[in-house]
Structures are given as C-alpha cells and as structure tokens.
C-alpha cells in the first residue's frame, strides 16, 4: 500500500467559505458555501455531507442545492443542538468544514424521461431542493414535474423566493398546504396527503418522498392507491449519524446503513425492514 494512501484520514474535512447567509425562519439559516481550495464538490442530488465547526463537532446534512448550479453549494442548518447553534452564529466570510459527499443520492437514471413527483414535508424540502433545482435546470430531460410541499405554518417556508418562483413557473406543477394557516394565507390547509386530490398521477410516475418520520406511512398509502409500484418510489431518510462511512453504527436500520446504503432508498429495498418506519 502506498504510504500516502495509508495515511489518508477519512475524517479530514475541507475548509469552506461562507459566501452568503440567510435567516430562512427563526430557527433555520441557509448557507451558500464554497471550498476554499477552489475545488468543486462532485456530488449528486440527494447526497449528504458532514458539516463541522472545530471545538463543537460534526452534523450530517443534505445538499440543498443542485450540482448544476456552479456557484458552490447550499445547506440549511436548523438550530437544534450544540453544533448547529454554533454554526448558526457564524457570519459571512467565516469558515465551516465539510466532509463528503456521502451516501447515495437520487437515482436520476430511473427518473429521466418520466413524470416525477416530489413530496416534501417541512425541512424535507432542503435535501429535495437539490433534485428540484436539478430537474428545473435540465427540464427537457423529464416529463411532467409535480411538487407537493407541506409546511407547519406559512412562516416555516424556508425558501420563500423559490416558492414564489415555483408558484408562477410553468416548469413545475406546484401544490402546497400548511397545517395551520395565518390570516394572510389563502392556500390549502391540512395534511400533505390532501394534495393528492389536486392532480391526476399516472402509475408510471417516479416519486420522491422526504419529510418527518410520521409522514411516510400516510404518503405510501396514497401511492398504493395510485398503483405506483414500490420500485418507482424513493425515500430520503434521516437517522442519527456520526461517521457517515458505514462504521459507527448510529444510522443503522436493521442490516442497512442510512449513511452508505441511503439516505435515498427505493421503497422496495426497505419496505420489509422493520426499523425503516418505526
């Protein structure tokens, strides 16, 4: 074994500069990042990275932008613990550290030339935004493109400009709902599965689902009613992660590792896994 290879440390992150920060919601901030060494991260929509700040630690996070956008890459950090709080106190021009890309992204081959439906709940919109942008940037490669988005309240809209654009766009059939409206809200109110009543879907449709754990079961029932077979359904799952390289055991779901085998799984691969849906 070459000595260089022998000493390569899989935990060594790269330095990234914060190009832009936006306070998306009271607890979520959106970062645009670029590697300090000028290299581009060669990732696929749906893949993840470990984002870190020395002295605090690492957190796993999905790419929230598409590799077709060349400015760098976006991530959305929700303040939930020590690491994310520290990262969310950083300012433009400062550095974070990134390790990745990790895991398997969306199976684009399966989606090209097909109708694609994305069902995103809450911050499930962040990792799926990598695919949404990808499809919009290469629109001619796909047939119909339908997007369902469900948020708790209108204030939880993480990408307001994107949402505005999707509402107007002819490239995406955008449907949205909120669990709880506010006085200004004129759209749908209720759970995300209600949006299935808003449009016709062919059994050929390729479907991507990403949201809070509780959402999956209900969405799967709807898809079953539409006779969309399990191998056309892709789920983007979240688990506790530490290493991101299939060793530390934290992300395990029966015999599968979300960090290596996922985070995107075809439904037929995991529907018999007892630990996939709790």
Partner 1 sequence: MSEYFLRQEDLPRFLQSLMAAVPVVGPVAKKNHFVFQKLSSPEELRLDYDVSLLPPKKAIFPQTQRLLDFSPNGPKSCIAPREQVLFGVHFYDIKAIDMLDHLFSENVADQNYLANRHATTIVGSSIQKISDRAFWGSVGKNTQPKGHDAFLTKISGGFHFKALTEKGEKLTSHGQFSKASDAQSKEAKQVNEEILGKCPQRLQHSAEQIAQKVRASFKNEKLWDELAEKCFSCGSCNIACSTCYCFDVQDKWNLDQKSGHRTRTWDACLTEDFAKVSLGAGGATENFREKRSHRFRHRVMRKTAYLNDKLGGPACVGCGRCSEGCVPDIADPVKIINKIMES
Query: By the criterion CB under 8 A, which residues form the site for partner 1?
Result: 1, 6-13, 15, 26-27, 52, 54-58, 78-81, 97, 212-213, 238-240, 242-243, 245-250, 252-255, 260, 274-275, 278
Q: Both tokens of residue 142?
A: 């796909």
Stretch that binds ligand FES, among 32-40, 107-115, 164-172, 235-243 (CB under 6 A): 235-243
Q: Supply the minimum distance, in Å, between the C-beta of residue 258 and partner 1.
A: 10
- By CB under 6 A, is residue 243 in contact with ligand FES? yes
Distance (Å, whole) CA 94 – CA 36: 11
Give the nearer residue to partner 1 in terms of CB position, either 161 or 255: 255
Phi, psi of 181 (to 5 degrees): -80, 165
**Which of 201, 226, 248, 266 contacts ligand FES by CB under 6 A?**
248
Q: Which does 92 bind (CB under 5 to 8 A by kind): ligand FES, partner 1, none?
A: none
Q: Supply the minimum distance, in Å, between the C-beta of residue 252 and partner 1.
A: 8
DSSP letter (8 states) at residue 69: -
**Residue 168 exposed, middle or buried by CB count within 10 Å (0-12, 13-18, 19+):** exposed
Give the nearer residue to partner 1 in terms of CB position, either 141 or 218: 218
Give the nearer residue to partner 1 in terms of CB position, either 71 or 155: 155
**Site residues (CB under 6 A) for ligand FES, limited to 61-100:** none
**Which of 95, 250, 271, 277 contacts ligand FES by CB under 6 A?**
250
Distance (Å, whole) CA 56 – CA 168: 41
Q: Is the Cα dihedral 234, 241, 257, 14 positive or negative?
A: positive
Which helix (DSSP H) or strand (DSSP E) does residue 165 occupy? Answer: helix 160-168
**Which of 244, 253, 263, 265 contacts ligand FES by CB under 6 A?**
244
Q: Which does 254 bind (CB under 5 to 8 A by kind): partner 1, ligand FES, none?
A: partner 1
Distance (Å, whole) CA 106 – CA 181: 32
- By CB under 6 A, is residue 251 in contact with ligand FES? yes
Distance (Å, whole) CA 118 – CA 120: 6
Q: Both tokens of residue 47?
A: 């893949």
Distance (Å, whole) CA 181 – CA 179: 7
Q: From the CA atom positions of the chain, what is the Rg in Å?
A: 19
The residue ranges that bind ligand FES (CB under 6 A) are 241-244, 246-251, 257, 259
């Amino acid at each position: 074994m070459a000595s260089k290879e022998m000493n390569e440390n899989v935990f060594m992150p790269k330095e990234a500069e914060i190009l832009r920060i936006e306070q998306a919601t009271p607890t979520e901030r959106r970062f645009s990042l670029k590697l300090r060494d000028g290299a581009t991260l060669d990732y696929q929509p749906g893949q993840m990275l470990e984002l870190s700040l020395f002295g605090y630690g690492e957190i796993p996070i999905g790419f929230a932008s598409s590799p077709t956008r060349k400015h760098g890459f976006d991530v959305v950090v929700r303040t939930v613990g020590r690491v994310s709080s520290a990262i969310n106190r950083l300012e433009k021009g400062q550095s974070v550290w990134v390790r990745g890309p990790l895991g398997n992204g969306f199976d684009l081959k399966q989606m090209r030339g097909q109708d694609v439906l994305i069902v995103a709940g809450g911050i499930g919109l962040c990792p799926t935004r990598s695919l949404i942008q990808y499809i919009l940037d290469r629109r001619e490669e796909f047939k119909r493109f339908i997007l369902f988005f469900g948020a708790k309240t209108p204030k939880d809209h993480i990408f307001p400009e994107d949402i505005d654009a999707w509402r107007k766009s002819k490239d995406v059939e955008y449907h949205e709902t909120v669990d709880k409206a506010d006085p200004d809200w004129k759209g749908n109110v209720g759970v995300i599965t209600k949006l299935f009543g808003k449009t016709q879907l062919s059994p050929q449709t390729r479907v991507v689902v990403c949201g809070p754990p509780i959402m999956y079961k209900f969405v799967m029932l709807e898809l079953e009613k539409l006779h969309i077979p399990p191998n056309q359904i892709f789920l983007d799952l979240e688990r506790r992660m530490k290493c991101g390289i299939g060793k530390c055991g934290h992300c395990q779901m029966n015999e599968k590792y979300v960090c290596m085998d996922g985070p995107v799984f075809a439904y037929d691969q995991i529907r018999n896994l007892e630990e996939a849906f709790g």
